[in-house]
A = this chain, B = another copy of it.
């Protein structure tokens, strides 16, 4: 399936880095239309596992993604009658939907939206208006140029009384000629850091009339006489947001971090810089402690968040089952965890991608590395679907509430029962090896989370008791409340990682390496935030030195397995779309070849087709191909170096092709002998790696085993 997608020229992302916003948009529309055709041909369904994998293969670079949100919102918020009317039209693409919530003046604070929908009993219509410029819808995807319909969120007014925000289906463009409907002004909001392929749009409504039936009315209805009827629970709205926040973690946040790690770690065993030992050849940059300290914690975080995603998914499924039984008890916990983790993971992963980009030096800054677009894309995830600070404060509100309840002896949800048991002990670690014990570090994280929550709760109470008004007191504690929420999420992430590793027990060898990653994730968190652990003396300065020692030791240990650990993420070269991160390690050749495609080079004299020199002679180096990726990993790679695909780097062709010149590029004369490099050196390096790496045979099969054991979903595709 991946091959069917990746080999199709319409789906090619080859020239993406050279395209204008218009070209990106047009290509995305072409891909979306072609994908529909292809899915129909192949019998793939939108809700099946295929769609997720196609999305991954295309890196989300298709149009009409908001059409899915449009459909989902009708399915969730619409009555049966509305679903029966609109969903078939949308499924058959007779209409293109969008989702118009955010306004110029309001984002996360939905209650503040200013668009109005006034019910006119005389005509049985809603009259929609944009009463001022800040009320203009702004940012909705697919709305600038594509959508024919959209779900508009507006303040409902009946007989002069406001009933708050409700969703309305509004047609915005003609189904005949795509012209804007009367009363509609719409267009593209212009360039952004990324998402050029999406026509984020604006929408201005001027006395737009829609029939009464167009208000989505599963939960609320306006009767013909203007009577407002609320049906069922409003709480379900939280659940919809929860769904979106959880699903975006894997698709939009984890994938970019995994890709960035793959690119930066592969590049770091190709790139050589300066000398570690005098007289030796230049060292691979991943052999420097500082480079390890940049990249390996990001790798560990990618695994940690992969496992937390499973945890949230499972919690979500349980919650969903309960909701179907009309039991909404799990909603507050689910809301708190999905909000907190959305904020924590997007923040952490965005910082991680930036670190990967910078760790690749100048070449990371080139769009051709693939890293800039990963960064500009993931950065948006910190902002959309709820601004992170606001989300963390919602988690904090839940924590404070639960802490107060727990202190009063009342029952609290499972994820926060630990708040009830405030221990005042000390960390029992006696030497640096003790800090490789999950019990030791998990308890330290727990202690910090409890301390920050209880201290902030105390400050809040003190302020209120001293006469500060409740809302002012809350505002004066928000910086610390955010810290408490982060500590809570970090604690759960560490605990969940440790428990997951525990369960991997039966899988030979993998558990050991996963435990290294878990240890690194935990110790990196302590090392980067020592104050929180030292503050009340739970951890002593001597213990903190042990943490540092264990943490730095781990870097050297994980460095050996770094390449298979990113190979296991199983990205194809086409999906990575990176000159630095390809499977074969041909970094410099690709940078040179890809630069030739730049339109800037088309307008000057055509450069020598130099890349043929390299690409031609290196044709034997396999591209990672993919369909038989597992077999390839198992059958081919065990005869090679763990960094095998990088061996051929900087090999210069023995015979110069005619395009270039008759003299071979490598001079054999004595004067140049000290600057020659090539296969001979690479082989020496292989030997060196083999000698010093005791886990050798384990590493061989490593990536393929992780692929099937840690990421089981993938093997079905």
Interface residues of A (CB under 8 A from B): 17-18, 20-22, 25, 102, 104-109, 111-112, 114, 116, 118, 129-134, 136, 138-139, 144-145, 155, 157, 160-162, 179-180, 185-193, 199, 202, 204, 206, 271-274, 276-278, 282, 287-291, 293-294, 354, 357-358, 361-362, 364-368, 372, 376, 379-380, 382-384, 387, 389-390, 393, 469, 471-472, 475-480, 482, 529-537, 541, 544, 548, 552, 588-589, 591-592, 594-601, 603-605, 607-608, 610, 614, 650, 652, 661, 665-667, 669-672, 674-677
Contact = CB atoms under 8 A, between A and B. Distances in A.
Nearest to A130: B665
A607 to B, nearest CB: 5
Nearest to A293: B479
A384 B363 CA distance: 11
B605 A180 contact: yes
A592 B133 contact: yes
A105 B116 CA distance: 60
Contacts of A384: 362
A643 to B, nearest CB: 17
A650 B592 contact: no
15 contacts: A17-B191, A21-B599, A102-B362, A104-B591, A131-B672, A132-B666, A136-B588, A144-B600, A155-B675, A162-B675, A185-B607, A187-B595, A187-B601, A274-B390, A358-B379
Contacts of A599: 20-22
Nearest to A660: B206
A607 B187 contact: yes
Contacts of A671: 118, 157, 160-162
A193 B600 contact: no
Given A471-B277, A598-B188, A605-B180, A610 B204 contact: yes
A646 to B, nearest CB: 13
B537 A541 contact: yes
B595 A189 contact: yes
Choose among A20, A22, A592, A599 the residue with the greatest number of B CB atoms under 10 Å from its CB. Answer: A592
Given A185-B607, A362-B384, 14 more contacts: A104-B591, A116-B672, A133-B588, A133-B614, A144-B600, A145-B604, A155-B675, A160-B669, A290-B393, A290-B478, A290-B479, A358-B379, A365-B379, A531-B533
Contacts of A116: 672, 675
A131 B653 CA distance: 12
Contacts of A132: 650, 652, 665-666, 677
A472 B187 CA distance: 60
Contacts of A293: 479
Contacts of A364: 383
A292 B500 CA distance: 39
Given A276-B471, A600-B188, A666 B131 contact: yes
A252 to B, nearest CB: 14
A289 B475 contact: yes
Contact of A531 (B139, B471, B531): B531
Nearest to A132: B652
A425 B471 CA distance: 41
A389 to B, nearest CB: 5
Contact of A192 (B187, B192, B365, B552): B365
Contact of A367 (B187, B190, B672): B190
A191 B365 CA distance: 9
Nearest to A393: B290
B365 A202 contact: no
A129 B661 CA distance: 13
A94 to B, nearest CB: 21
Given A278-B471, A588-B133, A595 B290 contact: no
A357 B387 CA distance: 13
A139 B18 CA distance: 18
A530 B535 contact: yes
Nearest to A552: B479
Contacts of A372: 192-193, 376
B366 A190 contact: yes
A596 B204 CA distance: 14
A105 B39 CA distance: 44
B389 A199 contact: no
A141 to B, nearest CB: 12
A280 to B, nearest CB: 9
Nearest to A529: B531
A113 B18 CA distance: 30
Contacts of A294: 389
Contacts of A155: 675
Contacts of A188: 595, 598, 600-601, 604
Contact of A105 (B189, B202, B272): B272
Contacts of A591: 104, 138, 189
A603 B22 contact: yes
A530 B665 CA distance: 56
A261 B671 CA distance: 55
A608 B294 CA distance: 51
A366 B192 contact: yes
A190 B595 contact: yes
A600 B145 contact: yes
A133 B589 contact: yes
Nearest to A204: B610
A477 B202 CA distance: 54
A383 B366 contact: no
A398 to B, nearest CB: 17
B274 A134 contact: no
